[in-house]
Amino acid sequence: MKNMNNALIALLFMATVLIAFAYRQGKISEGFREALKIFLNVLPLLICAFIVVGFIEILIPKELLQTWLGEEAGWKGLLIGPAVGALFQGGPFAFFPLYEAVFRDSISTGTAVAMITAWGMINVGHLPYEFTFLGPRFIVLKYCMYLAIPSLAGLLANILFGSL
């Protein structure tokens, strides 16, 4: 919760500065209209994401997550974590609430780094388009690298910040 409070303080500061700049340029109402438009576009996604997170949190036992992704998982967590991250479809409004509610207290530092890295790098939803427009050779080259990097990032995080 402390990190969320820090993020809120930082965002409030940035919003205040931007509102001041917009006010000086006479664009404050235009800025608030844009903010409302974005909010209304994102609202359905947020509602669905929070419903998914709520049900995942009550349906997946913490002990299971600790066994597969926690400190005792070792190498297994560095392989399963990236798979979870890669398969999760959705932007930051969907992923980070899920991570906060379900994974934060259950997984190791290295697994968290590997999962978030894979989520950011690998989007399996893009595969049909990449295959169609870029061809199979590109897909093989890209995913050979993309599949290794998250686990290596997680291993490095464990070496530097946690135990394996």
Question: Would you state the pLDDT for residue 164?
Answer: 47
Residue 15 is predicted with a pLDDT of: 94
Residue stretches of the chain with pLDDT short of 50:
164
**pLDDT number for residue 23:** 94
Integer CA distances (angstroms), 69 to 73, 113, 123, in order: 5, 12, 21
Task: List, for residues 37-63, the tens digit of each pLDDT value.
Answer: 999 988 887 888 788 878 887 888 878
- 78 and 155 in contact (C-beta within 8 Å)? yes
The pLDDT, as a whole number, for residue 152 is 94
Write down the pLDDT at residue 102. Answer: 76
Please report the pLDDT score of residue 2 as a whole number. 57
The DSSP H or E segment spanning 78 is helix 75-87
157 vs 63: CA distance, rounded Å: 23
